[in-house]
Amino acid sequence: MTADLDATPASPADPPPGTHAAESSSTWTGGLLNRWQRTLPPEKLLPDKQPEYVASWIYVFGVATLAALLVIVASGLILTLRGPAWWHQSDPGHYVNSVHLWSVELFFMFMVVHLWGKFWMAAWRGRRAMTWITGVVCFLASVGTAFTGYVIQTNFDAQWIATQAKDGLNSVGIGAWFNVLDVGQMLLFHVAMLPLVLGAIVIWHVLLVRRHGVVPPIDVALYEEETS
Amino acid sequence: MTNATDIERRPWAGANREYDIVKEFVIAMVVVTALTLGLAFAFGSPDDKNLTLQSWAAASPGDLVATAAQELAGTSGVAGYGPPYNNTPDVSQSIGPINLQELAGVRIPIDTATDFVIRPLEQMPANAATTDAINAWKGATPDQQAKWAGDYADAIDAADGDYTKVAAGDYGPVPVLTGSLLAAAEGGALDGVLLTQGRVYSTDYTLPLLFLADGTYLEDQARAQHLGGDQWGMTNETGSYPGQSWLWLYTFWYQIEPFASSDNADAWVWGLMMVLTVGLMLLPFIPGLRSIPRWIPVHRLIWRDYYKTHAVVKR
């Protein structure tokens, strides 16, 4: 019985849960767990120490971007509860929309500073190119997500933006599949498709940062005696 | 001494400092949330009421009638747009020999006379004059239809847009058709008919928005709010609010030649932005560009404390 097996006392030779057991397992699950532990052990995922050079205000903008994104998601979820036209008719709804707008403005401001900071730090060095690339893709997905938000405002601004933006999209042949004049399609892109894509890339980006660590200063020399 | 490239690739083996990542995240959340709530409270958000075909008819009936005449004549913006709405020859945008607009084909077919004027009138209760006008229109040859509507559109233009003062002429059923459409718009029925097209549910505003955009009223309102394409368009917002400022580079190209006056501006700007975007993504692999941070040593400022006490490897 399972309960009996679970109750079997561990012998002193038993490995700690989730370590040796996974390494010795030939199951897909064990293999995945093993790979996860090798790639991103807990001390890398949630470190309580960082290299001494991680001491600048520029590092704040990455986590500030993440924080603003969470405020965007939270305020967006509240807006979804009452539908896309709620904020026109309700003071609380208008305030939540304002929170959504300003969190987006802050999000982009923080992200652009973060991006420029990483550029001047040449943060792609040391096999961190994919971290840079996922960061750029995050920026692009954010632009797309924000844009769909503007065309579902269901007000004059949305009408104008949609009728203008269609020309660019049509000129490269994608306007029929991404029809900015179709509010229903844009709404679903904004609240489902693009946030899922953006969320997945953001998680990937953050995990890459944790895996490879923060890039060291340019041209820094590490004397062996410092490490001994 | 370990060289710099090795250091960049290996786990950091130098000195560490305590870094509470969870505390940093919590503080960031509190500060950013408070900042956002404060900005929202202090400044709110813009919400200029949407235009309707009814409000267009009330504010600028002549523009609506002239637009309807152009839709009938096949001389409106949508009528001469090309894919994805119709097959108008030689109007689609291309980048040299690459014509993606043409390649995509007509995916949202629109016959402007039928979809913007005749069918909406047929779907609404009509008086005898309107019914007769619809029948007369349908019984005419395409050439006759184009002549009636074209002449009427020209006459409105000659009357400075005042459809009540057009010169006498043979315009066939067109004045009745456009007048009936105007009446339907004034009563509010046209908004619903163009949106639903006989169905119950619809969230697709393609037809009413295209019809609205074919007139000059929408653009006039937008230009008054400094939202025109040559006024940095989407980077602005109604009122004095910040818009999509992150689109500044995309919008920038429309402000300068050769894009500003090009018939293929949209395609060229999109193409250019795609190239620049791929370039940004692949920056780590582009010789020269990837070395800019080394040549312009902003990093010296970022890591100034570290560089004060640590050696540098000259490459």
Q: What is the ipTM of this complex?
A: 0.92
Is A75 within 8 Å of A103 (Cβ atoms)? yes
Rounded Cα–Cα distance for residues A56 and B136 (Å): 77
Q: How many CB pairs under 8 A join A and B?
A: 305
Q: Please list, residue by residue across A92-109, b when 16 or more beta carbons sit within 10 angstroms of its beta carbon and e when fewer do.
A: ebbbbbbbbbbbbbbbbb
CB contact, 8 Å: B281 with chain A?
A: yes
Overall domain count for chain A: 1
Q: Residue B56's closest CA among B199, B193, B209? A: B209
CB contact, 8 Å: B41 with chain A?
A: yes
Test A102 with B314 for CB contact under 8 angstroms: no
Rounded Cα–Cα distance for residues B292 and B313 (Å): 17
Rounded Cα–Cα distance for residues A95 and B45 (Å): 8
Question: Average of pLDDT values for B166-176?
Answer: 95
Which DSSP category does B18 fall into? E
List B residues 155-214 in contact with A (Cβ-Cβ < 8 A): 202-206, 209-210, 212-213
CB contact, 8 Å: B135 with chain A?
A: no
**DSSP SS3 for B253:** helix
Confidence of residue A223 (pLDDT cuts 50, 70, 90): low
Which DSSP category does A190 fall into? I
Share of residues in chain A with pLDDT > 70 (%): 86
CATH number of the domain where residue A197 is located: 1.20.810.10
Would you say residue A44 lies in a domain? no
Q: What is the mean pLDDT of chain B?
A: 93
Would you say residue A219 lies in a domain? no
Question: Average of pLDDT values for B124-144?
Answer: 95
Best residue in A222, A225, A227 to probe B by mutation, most B CBs within 10 Å? A222
Measured from the Cβ of residue A37, the count of other Cβ atoms closer than 10 Å reads: 14
Nearest CA in chain B to A113: B246
* pLDDT at residue B315, as a whole number: 62
**DSSP SS3 for B205:** coil
Test B100 with A171 for CB contact under 8 angstroms: yes
Residue B292 confidence (pLDDT) above 80: yes
Neighboring chain A residues of B41 at a CB cutoff of 8 Å: 95, 98
Residue B129 confidence (pLDDT) above 90: yes
Comparing A3-12, A40-49, B197-206, the range with the smallest average pLDDT is: A3-12
Of B44, B213, B282, the CB nearest to A98: B44
Confidence of residue B231 (pLDDT cuts 50, 70, 90): confident
Test B4 with A218 for CB contact under 8 angstroms: yes
Would you say residue A133 lies in a domain? yes
Neighboring chain A residues of B222 at a CB cutoff of 8 Å: 160
B263-286, pLDDT tens digit by residue? 999 999 999 999 999 999 999 999
Is A50 within 8 Å of B16 (Cβ atoms)? yes
Range of the domain at A71: 60-212
Structural element, H or E, at residue A171: helix A156-171
Of B51, B203, B237, the CB nearest to A182: B203
Would you say residue A69 lies in a domain? yes
Structure tokens at A43: 């001390």
Comparing A45-49, A118-122, B11-15, B117-121, the range with the smallest average pLDDT is: B11-15
> A67 CB contacts (<8 Å, ≥6 apart)?
B25, B28, B29, B31, B32, B33
CB contact, 8 Å: B273 with chain A?
A: no
Would you say residue A70 lies in a domain? yes
Question: Average of pLDDT values for B191-214?
Answer: 91
Rounded Cα–Cα distance for residues B82 and B104 (Å): 11
List B residues 80-109 in contact with A (Cβ-Cβ < 8 A): 81, 83-84, 92-93, 100-101, 103-104, 107-108
Test A155 with B47 for CB contact under 8 angstroms: yes
Comparing A205-214, B64-73, B197-206, B250-259, the range with the smallest average pLDDT is: B197-206
Question: Average of pLDDT values for A209-214?
Answer: 94
B17-40, pLDDT tens digit by residue? 999 999 999 999 999 999 999 999
Distance of residue A153 Cα from the nearest chain B Cα, in angstroms: 8
Residue A171 confidence (pLDDT) above 70: yes
Confidence of residue A10 (pLDDT cuts 50, 70, 90): very low
Comparing A6-10, A119-123, B49-53, the range with the smallest average pLDDT is: A6-10
Rounded Cα–Cα distance for residues A96 and B47 (Å): 13
Question: Average of pLDDT values for A66-92?
Answer: 96
Share of residues in chain B with pLDDT > 90 (%): 82
Test B284 with A129 for CB contact under 8 angstroms: yes
Structure tokens at B308: 């004060």
Question: In angstroms, what is the C-alpha Rg of chain B?
Answer: 29
Q: Where are the domains of chain B?
A: 53-224
